[in-house]
């Protein structure tokens, strides 16, 4: 069971189980036709997690050995991926910050005697590494068009369940203002919104579709995120959404016309953003209030008024508790924090901010490690070809914004999202080399067993250690 969050109601059994059976048959047929094992695994990893989350009343319960069924399943998927990926890709330089984070988790856990939590948290970041590499190798094996279209099949579960929750009015009350979330019987709107944001991200980079077909898919994911009613995801992925639609339109014009069209699009987009903000002004009014009173909110929790406690779903109040506890800790806490998942049983809810959670659990070293990871991947996005660079930068910016008001790295759904993004970023860094055609016999063999080898390095820095 997930701690620190209120769980939503599952779909009724008479609806959930037949739906699951149909989804399993569709996914099994689709994965059976995939020629690359590692590409099939990447899709399977997404689909497995999304199906397991839809059955959270069972999968979040404890197994006979103490771990939840969800944890056992995730660990098994992690180990399977470790077997399927190419070992040499574990040496990709951009993954070093992930290993640094895992090392800090281990050291912090040992220093604070929270050893059982080391495995749980370590597997999450190991999962991120495996997802990154499997998506990277899958793109090498199948190419952008086939791989991105394959990954989209994993979302028939969340989208199908959400549609059923709308039809049969299976909702979760998410705010004190009476609003509800349609999250398809999943456990929480944060995790479910991140799932749909992953689909949105993949659809943005899916090739081989007409503009209208891709726009329709994007609108479906956007509508799903809005119906899930999680403000953080709506705000965080606004940069990617605006960038995607503008670039899709801009790409239909000749280079000579694009400058004036870009000016028009920026103007129209600005008006559209303002209009959307006006429509949802009551949902986002707290943001304006917080920005206007930041200085007044930087104080201990016991000095908060009841009105201040309710701002942004109590986020400033929550952050204050974590920061205050960290400041009052000793030198060990300042450097290594209180240990992985040490907030459980101490705080009522998780920190709702990755950096604040990192400084509480892993101290200054943890914050530096997370910043190093994000900066490394963002810099990698800056080195990608011009045609895709804008969307990649917007996608990384959206993920960074997401971390400022929730904790995607604490949820496997968030690590899957970031793994897909990082895998695609690494692939695009060396796409021309990765897509050089080998001989026919070699291509057939590589297509069956996980993808082409990376060709000779280009002048751009190699992603593998020398």
Q: How far apart are CA 388 and CA 49, in angstroms?
A: 28
Beta bridge partners of 110: none
Q: What is the pLDDT of residue 8?
A: 55
Q: What is the pLDDT of residue 301?
A: 85
Quote the CA–CA distance of 101 and 355 in Å, as a whole number: 13
Predicted confidence (pLDDT) per residue in 108-142, tens digit: 999 998 888 898 899 999 999 999 999 999 999 99
Sign of the alpha-carbon dihedral angle for 187, 400, 465, 206: positive
pLDDT tens digits, one per residue of 194-224? 999 999 999 999 988 877 888 899 999 999 9
b/e for 422-450, b at 16 or more Cβ within 10 A? Answer: bbbbbbbbbbebbeeeeeeeeeeebbeeb
pLDDT tens readout for residues 151-163: 999 999 999 999 9
DSSP 8-class letter at 463: S
Instruction: Give the integer Cα–Cα distance in Å for 210 and 233.
Output: 26
Q: How far is CA 66 from the centre of its chain?
A: 27
- H/E segment holding residue 172: strand 172-173
Integer Cα distance of 322 and 305 in angstroms: 18
Under the phi-then-psi rule, with left for phi > 0, alpha for psi from -120 to 50, and beta for the rest, what region is 345?
left
Predicted local confidence at residue 445, as pLDDT: 40
Taking phi over 0 as left and psi of -120 to 50 as alpha, with beta for the rest, 181 belongs to beta
Q: Do residues 363 and 19 lie in contact, with contact meaning Cβ atoms separated by under 8 Å?
A: no
Q: What pTM, to 2 d.p., does this model score?
A: 0.87
Using only C-alpha atoms, what is the Rg of the chain?
Answer: 22
Q: Which residues of the chain fall short of a pLDDT of 50?
A: 1-7, 434, 436-461, 465-466
Q: Is there a contact between 43 and 31 (Cβ–Cβ < 8 Å)?
A: yes
Whole-number Å distance between alpha carbons of 80 and 459: 35
Token pair listed for 36:
């690359």
The kind and range of the H/E element at 374 are helix 354-382
């Amino acid at each position: 069971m997930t701690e620190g969050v209120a769980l939503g109601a599952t779909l009724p059994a008479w609806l959930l189980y037949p739906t699951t059976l149909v989804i399993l048959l569709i996914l099994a047929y689709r994965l059976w036709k995939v020629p690359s094992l590692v590409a099939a695994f990447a899709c399977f990893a997404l689909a497995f997690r999304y199906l397991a989350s839809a059955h959270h009343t069972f999968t979040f319960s404890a197994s006979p050995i103490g771990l939840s069924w969800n944890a056992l399943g995730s660990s098994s998927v992690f180990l399977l991926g470790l077997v399927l990926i190419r070992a040499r890709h574990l040496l990709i330089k951009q993954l070093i910050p992930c290993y640094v984070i895992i090392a800090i988790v281990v050291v912090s856990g040992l220093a604070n005697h929270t050893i059982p939590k080391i495995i749980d948290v370590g597997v999450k970041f190991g999962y991120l590494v495996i997802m990154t590499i499997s998506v990277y190798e899958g793109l090498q094996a199948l190419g952008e068009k086939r791989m991105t279209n394959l990954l989209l099949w994993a979302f028939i579960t969340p989208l199908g369940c959400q549609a059923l929750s709308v039809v049969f009015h299976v909702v979760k009350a998410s705010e004190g203002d009476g609003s509800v979330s349609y999250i398809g019987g999943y456990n929480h709107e944060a995790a479910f919104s991140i799932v749909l944001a992953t689909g949105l991200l993949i659809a943005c980079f899916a090739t081989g579709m007409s503009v209208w077909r891709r726009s329709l898919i994007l609108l479906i994911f956007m509508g799903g995120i809005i119906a899930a009613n999680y403000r953080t995801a709506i705000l965080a992925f606004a940069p990617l959404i605006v960038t995607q639609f503008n670039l899709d339109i801009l790409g239909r014009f000749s280079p000579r016309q694009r400058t004036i069209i870009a000016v028009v699009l920026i103007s129209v987009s600005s008006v559209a953003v303002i209009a959307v903000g006006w429509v949802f002004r009551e949902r986002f009014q707290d943001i304006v209030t917080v920005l206007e009173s930041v200085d007044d909110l930087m104080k201990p929790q016991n000095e908060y008024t009841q009105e201040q406690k309710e701002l942004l779903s109590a986020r400033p109040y929550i952050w204050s508790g974590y920061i205050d506890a960290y400041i009052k800790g000793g030198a060990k806490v300042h450097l290594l924090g209180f240990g992985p998942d040490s907030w459980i049983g101490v705080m009522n809810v998780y920190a709702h901010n990755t950096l604040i959670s990192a400084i509480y659990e892993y101290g200054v070293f943890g914050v530096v490690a997370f910043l190093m990871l994000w900066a490394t991947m963002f810099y990698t996005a800056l080195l990608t070809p011009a045609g895709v660079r804008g969307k990649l930068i917007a996608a990384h910016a959206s993920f960074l914004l997401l971390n400022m008001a929730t904790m995607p790295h604490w949820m496997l759904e968030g690590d899957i999202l970031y793994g897909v993004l990082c895998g695609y970023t690494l692939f695009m860094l060396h796409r021309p080399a990765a897509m050089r055609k080998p001989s026919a016999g070699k291509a057939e063999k590589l297509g069956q067993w996980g993808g082409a080898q990376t060709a000779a390095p280009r002048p751009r820095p190699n992603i593998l250690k020398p």
